[in-house]
């Protein structure tokens, strides 16, 4: 892990070069009582549960909902246009929100994740501070959410309890996303799945406030009931074109970043499958273990990370068992199986961006019957172009019927062109079906 930290610190040092006048504003204990933390809303259901968990720890949290062209234009104004598209959108959304008049800019903080790897996502935080200074908002503190010890704030601590609870919230979110995507295209009463998710999010949020729903026994009971409730939704199971979505994590999940891709596919009479975010979390945790295996490191840290990985495997198994035991829904493949799929295809040391996981997800989707795949590629994300677009030929060698189209997302890409390319892919898929 130390090697990863050094790599990120060197990258951050390079990012700060020439910007020595930018002083980091710490989020203090006093700020915790009075400030609202603003967070980009990449995964609405998952993040609603995370908001409840943060609130239980005494933080005031608001999920940013502002979208549209203004966010893009704000990002272009305050971030260099050679920067990757997700950074432009996240920073544009934050500054646009601060300039909207909705928030007291002297009583808010911003939160952004740092993975600690070689991807530029580790440096978004420095780009954000530079943009805040340019916008005259340098007093706004920026909180780094990371597991690598990159930055710390006296007013925000990611405790082991918060981490475990957050992983539980993400697991519930993945379950909702999995079930909804296998139902929404077949609903007789449109909106049933969304209404049931809203009902369960309220129920889980209440349980979390009562410090319930976190234990393996409580999770198993909740998940069984969730799956059974979704199985009761009236459906008309006609033949649909099955489409999987992979790509850079933000563009893959954020409807603002991918121009509402999932809804567009449903409108095109498709069933959509999007791999869960817990697979990405396990990939990031597993990378720490692989780093030590490949390059050496602290054995004590390895044991800690291995324990965290086992906890994630337990959560993954709860989700898998709840779906496979109590319904006819297709359960997600387990992380260990996905990792096996790339043996001899991509090395485990390939971990920048989504690394080998992106290639593995294309293989897993093809194996599971979702061989029509959209690979969402944001501008400026070289790692994902390599393991996404660059691996399509190899995936097709293994699964000749795989029908994969890379779609570029950037400030100048038009929605019409993107949708036309997807429609062409769907027409090929339907010819294969007939």
Q: Are 177 and 44 in contact (CB under 8 A)?
A: no
- Point out which residues pair with 61 in neighbouring strands: 37
Cβ neighbour number for residue 133 with a 10 Å cutoff:
17
The packing angle between helices 85-98 and 69-78, to 10°, is 100
**What is the rounded CA–CA span in Å between residue 278 and residue 256?**
21
**What is the rounded CA–CA span in Å between residue 44 and residue 92?**
18
Dihedral angle over CA of 320, 323, 325, 328, nearest 10: -140
Tell me, what's the pLDDT at 116?
67
Q: What CATH topology corresponds to 2-157? A: Rossmann fold (3.40.50)
**What is the rounded CA–CA span in Å between residue 380 and residue 42?**
19
87-119 CB burial, b ≥16 within 10 A, e <16? bbbbbbbbbbbbeeeebeeeebbbbbbbbbbbb
Tell me, what's the pLDDT at 123?
78
- Could you report the average pLDDT of every consecutive run of 10 residues in the chain (434 residues)? 40 41 88 95 93 94 94 94 88 97 97 76 85 96 84 90 94 98 97 97 94 94 98 96 96 95 97 97 91 86 93 97 95 96 91 92 97 94 89 96 95 92 96 82
Residue 316, exposed/middle/buried by CB under 10 A (0-12, 13-18, 19+)?
Answer: buried
| SS3 at position 385 | helix
- Based on C-alpha coordinates, what's the Rg of the chain? 21
Tell me, what's the pLDDT at 150?
77
**What is the rounded CA–CA span in Å between residue 177 and residue 323?**
12
Tokens found for residue 95:
């500054």
**What is the rounded CA–CA span in Å between residue 157 and residue 395?**
42
**CATH class as words, domain 239-276+332-433:** alpha beta
- Point out which residues pair with 376 in neighbouring strands: 247, 407
Tell me, what's the pLDDT at 290?
87
Which residues make up the CATH 3.40.50 domain(s) of the chain? 2-157, 239-276+332-433
Q: φ, ψ for residue 36 (rounded to 5)?
A: -100, 130
Q: Are 83 and 113 in contact (CB under 8 A)?
A: no
**Residue position matching structure tokens 């390599």:** 386
DSSP string of 136-189?
T-TTS-EEEE-SS-S--BTTB---HHHHHHHHHHHHHHHHHHHHHHHHTTTBSS
**What is the rounded CA–CA span in Å between residue 354 and residue 248?**
6
**What is the rounded CA–CA span in Å between residue 388 and residue 272?**
19
Tell me, what's the pLDDT at 117?
67
Q: Which parts of 212-298 fold into alpha helices (H)?
A: 216-231, 249-253, 261-267, 277-295
Q: Whole-prediction pTM value?
A: 0.91
- The number of angstroms, rounded, from the C-alpha of 169 to the middle of its chain's C-alpha atoms is 13
């Amino acid at each position: 892990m130390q090697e990863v930290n050094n790599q990120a610190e060197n990258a951050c040092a390079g990012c700060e070069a020439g910007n020595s006048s930018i002083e980091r504003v710490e989020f203090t204990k006093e700020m915790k009582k009075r400030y609202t933390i603003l967070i980009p809303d990449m995964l609405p259901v998952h993040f609603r549960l995370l908001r409840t968990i943060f609130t239980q720890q005494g933080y005031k949290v608001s999920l940013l909902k502002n979208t549209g062209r203004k966010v893009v234009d704000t990002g272009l104004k305050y971030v260099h246009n050679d920067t990757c598209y997700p950074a432009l959108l996240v920073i544009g959304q934050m500054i646009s929100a601060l300039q909207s008049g909705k928030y007291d800019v002297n009583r808010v903080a911003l939160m952004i994740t740092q993975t600690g790897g070689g991807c530029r996502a580790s440096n978004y935080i420095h780009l954000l501070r530079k943009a805040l200074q340019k916008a005259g908002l340098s007093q706004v503190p920026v909180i780094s959410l990371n597991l690598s010890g990159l930055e710390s704030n006296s007013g925000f601590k990611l405790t082991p309890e918060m981490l475990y609870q957050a992983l539980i919230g993400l697991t519930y979110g993945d379950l909702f996303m999995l079930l909804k995507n296998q139902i929404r295209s077949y609903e007789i009463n449109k909106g049933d799945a969304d209404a049931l998710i809203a009902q369960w999010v309220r129920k889980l949020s209440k349980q979390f406030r009562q410090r319930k729903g976190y234990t393996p026994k409580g999770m198993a009971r909740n998940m069984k009931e969730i799956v059974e409730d979704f199985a009761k939704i009236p459906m008309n199971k006609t033949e649909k074109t099955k489409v999987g979505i992979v790509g850079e994590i933000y563009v893959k999940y954020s409807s603002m970043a991918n121009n509402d891709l999932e809804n567009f596919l449903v409108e095109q009479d498709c069933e959509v499958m999007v791999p869960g975010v817990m697979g990405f979390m396990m990939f990031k945790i597993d990378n720490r273990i692989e780093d030590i295996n490949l390059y050496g490191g602290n054995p004590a840290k390895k044991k800690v990370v291995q324990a965290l990985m086992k906890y994630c495997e337990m959560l993954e198994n709860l989700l898998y068992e709840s779906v496979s035991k109590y319904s006819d829904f297709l359960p997600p493949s387990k992380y260990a199986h996905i990792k096996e799929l790339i043996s001899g295809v991509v090395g485990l040391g390939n971990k920048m961006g989504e690394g080998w996981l992106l290639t593995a997800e294309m293989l897993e989707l093809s194996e599971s019957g979702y061989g029509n795949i959209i690979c969402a590629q944001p501008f400026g994300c070289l790692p994902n172009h390599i393991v996404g677009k660059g691996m399509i030929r190899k995936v097709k060698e293994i699964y000749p019927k795989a029908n994969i189209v890379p779609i570029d997302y950037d400030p100048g890409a038009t929605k019409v062109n993107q949708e036309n390319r997807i429609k062409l892919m769907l027409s090929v898929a339907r010819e294969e079906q007939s």
